[in-house]
Amino acid sequence: MYGNIRVELNHNGKTMPNLEENLGFGKHFTAHMFMMDYEEGTGWHDPRIIPYGPISHDPAAMVFHYGQAVFEGMKAFRTESDEVVLFRPDQNAKRLNRSSERLSIPQIDEEFVVAAIQQLVRIDAAWVPKKKGSSLYIRPFVIATEAILGVRPAMQYSFIIIMSPVDAYYEEGLQPVNILVESYFSRSVRGGTGDAKAAGNYAGSLKAQTLAKEHNCAQVLWLDAIEKKYLEEVGSMNVFFKINGEVVTPSLSGSILEGITRGSIIHLLKDWGIPVTERKISIDDIVEAHANGSLEEAFGTGTAAVVSPIGSLLWNGTPMVINQGKTGELVEKLYATITGIQSGKLPDTYGWLLKV
Ligand SMILES: *Cc1c(COP(=O)(O)O)cnc(C)c1O
């Protein structure tokens, strides 16, 4: 498929940071990257693993003007027995194609994507940190590279994979965050690009996030764009609530990104016999559950943090404190289970890990 991956190994003098120390998130990049190009007529070609470094593009490259770009986010882990594993990479490859389809970007063979990630991780395996909770964050992305100012799908693209050793999101255990319920700005709307991992979705969300920070909130809880009533996501995470023993999460309405962590959590909850429902959830449902004491837990889910407990929701200027602002039992158990599987501490009973 697309020809053999050409490998050009050279660290270009790049030195590895001390992987035992503060890595932060997305600050350090490994020695190599994967690249492959697309041209209408030829298709995807020239897959290569080359030294990490700047790429140069014509200033008229369409990605700079019309934002034709999609990306993925996933992680490789070093297990307790010193193996390097990926968590559900087939799901990321599938979603990359779903996002691409929405943005009129050509598809890439999913098995090839996983194999390319495996080979790149193998080459830079020394960069997968060992420290508890740390991982190698993997960022595959596709950009339109054709140099033309006409508005239409590009005829040239690059598919690139870069990797970054990162710390655990929570160094000292889960920390509940304050969230602002966003009543004016929208992230996406049904029929738009909210269910694709499109770069532009993020550009449009920054302003609300900045304003939330001024209210001492880490992120916003997005409401649907039409009625400003139904919950969608929290920042760039999916959102879950535990109400009176039942777990609920917004159903995929066309404006919500289908998180792989979301899917894994629904799977675990069903397996544990905890009732879990995907449905429309209005902000009024949450206000009511909070008022009558049945709102037990709230949390966001995503690859970067796995889970992020919500300590309070700021709505109409009034904070609704959840579980006394503390990390709930269920979110703690979900975190322990998923990170336990990823680190090899718990058995991989669902077949979620792929060795590189
Ligand atoms: C990536 C992303 C998520 C989380 O997806 P995971 O696959 O769980 O990492 C949720 N919402 C948005 C908007 C995202 O971009």
Mean pLDDT on 299-312: 96
pLDDT computed for residue 230 by the predictor: 98
Mean pLDDT on 110-133: 96
pLDDT, tens only, 183-229: 999 999 999 999 999 999 999 999 999 999 999 999 999 999 999 99
Kindly state the tokens that stand for 254: 């066309």
pLDDT computed for residue 288 by the predictor: 98
- For ligand 1, the distance from its centroid to the CA atom of residue 124, given in whole angstroms, is 25
- Closest-CA residue to 68 (of 147, 186, 162, 163): 147
pLDDT computed for residue 325 by the predictor: 97
Q: Is the pLDDT of residue 171 over 80?
A: no
What percentage of the chain has pLDDT greater than the value 70? Answer: 100
**Which of the listed residues 303, 335, 338, 339 should we mutate to test ligand 1's pocket, taking the one with most ligand atoms within 8 A of CB?**
303
pLDDT, tens only, 67-86: 999 999 999 999 999 999 99
pLDDT computed for residue 169 by the predictor: 84
- For ligand 1, the distance from its centroid to the CA atom of residue 331, given in whole angstroms, is 17
Instruction: Assess contact for 139 and 4: CB atoms under 8 A.
Output: no
Q: Is the pLDDT of residue 41 over 90?
A: yes
Burial class (CB in 10 A: 0-12, 13-18, 19+), 102: middle
User: Do the two domains 6-166 and 177-341 of this chain adopt the same fold?
Assistant: no
Q: Is the pLDDT of residue 55 over 80?
A: yes
pLDDT computed for residue 319 by the predictor: 96
| Average pLDDT of the residues of the chain | 96
Tokens 């050793």: give the residue.
165
Mean pLDDT on 31-45: 97
pLDDT higher at 168 or 112 = 112
- Closest-CA residue to 233 (of 216, 249, 209): 249
pLDDT computed for residue 170 by the predictor: 80
- The residue whose CA is least distant from atom 6 of ligand 1 is 259
CATH class of the structural domain 6-166: alpha beta
- For ligand 1, the distance from its centroid to the CA atom of residue 333, given in whole angstroms, is 20
Tokens 């917004």: give the residue.
250
What is the position in ligand 1's atom list of the atom closest to the CA of 95?
Answer: 7
- The residue whose CA is least distant from atom 5 of ligand 1 is 259
Pocket, ligand 1, Cβ cutoff 6 A: 73, 197, 233, 236-238, 257, 259-262, 301-303
- The residue whose CA is least distant from atom 14 of ligand 1 is 236
pLDDT computed for residue 320 by the predictor: 97
Neighbouring-strand partners of residue 282: 230
Q: Give the C-alpha separation, 221 to 74, whole Å.
A: 23
Mean pLDDT on 235-239: 96
Mean pLDDT on 254-280: 98
Q: Is the pLDDT of residue 151 over 80?
A: yes
What CATH superfamily is the domain 177-341?
D-amino Acid Aminotransferase, subunit A, domain 2 (3.20.10.10)
pLDDT, tens only, 307-339: 999 999 999 999 999 999 999 999 999 999 999
- For ligand 1, the distance from its centroid to the CA atom of residue 98, given in whole angstroms, is 14
Residue type, 264: S
Question: What's the CA angle centered on 180, arms 247 and 316, to 5 degrees?
Answer: 100
Mean pLDDT on 52-63: 97
Query: Which stretches of the chain are DSSP H helices?
Result: 62-66, 89-102, 110-123, 199-214, 260-271, 283-291, 329-342
What is the position in ligand 1's atom list of the atom closest to the CA of 260?
Answer: 7
- For ligand 1, the distance from its centroid to the CA atom of residue 211, given in whole angstroms, is 21
Mean pLDDT on 91-110: 98
Q: Please state, as a whole number, how many other Cβ atoms lie within 10 Å of the Cβ of residue 33.
A: 20
Instruction: Assess contact for 158 and 36: CB atoms under 8 A.
Output: yes
- For ligand 1, the distance from its centroid to the CA atom of residue 131, given in whole angstroms, is 24
Q: Is the pLDDT of residue 141 over 90?
A: yes
Q: Is the pLDDT of residue 172 over 80?
A: no
pLDDT computed for residue 40 by the predictor: 97
- The residue whose CA is least distant from atom 10 of ligand 1 is 237
pLDDT band (50, 70, 90) for residue 13: confident
pLDDT band (50, 70, 90) for residue 103: very high
- For ligand 1, the distance from its centroid to the CA atom of residue 10, given in whole angstroms, is 33
pLDDT computed for residue 173 by the predictor: 80
Q: Give the C-alpha separation, 92 to 138, whole Å.
A: 11
Q: Please state, as a whole number, how many other Cβ atoms lie within 10 Å of the Cβ of residue 203.
A: 10
* Domain chopping of the chain, boundaries: 6-166, 177-341
- For ligand 1, the distance from its centroid to the CA atom of residue 217, given in whole angstroms, is 19
**Which of the listed residues 257, 266, 339 should we mutate to test ligand 1's pocket, taking the one with most ligand atoms within 8 A of CB?**
257
What is the position in ligand 1's atom list of the atom closest to the CA of 197?
Answer: 15
- For ligand 1, the distance from its centroid to the CA atom of residue 198, given in whole angstroms, is 11
Instruction: Assess contact for 64 and 148: CB atoms under 8 A.
Output: no
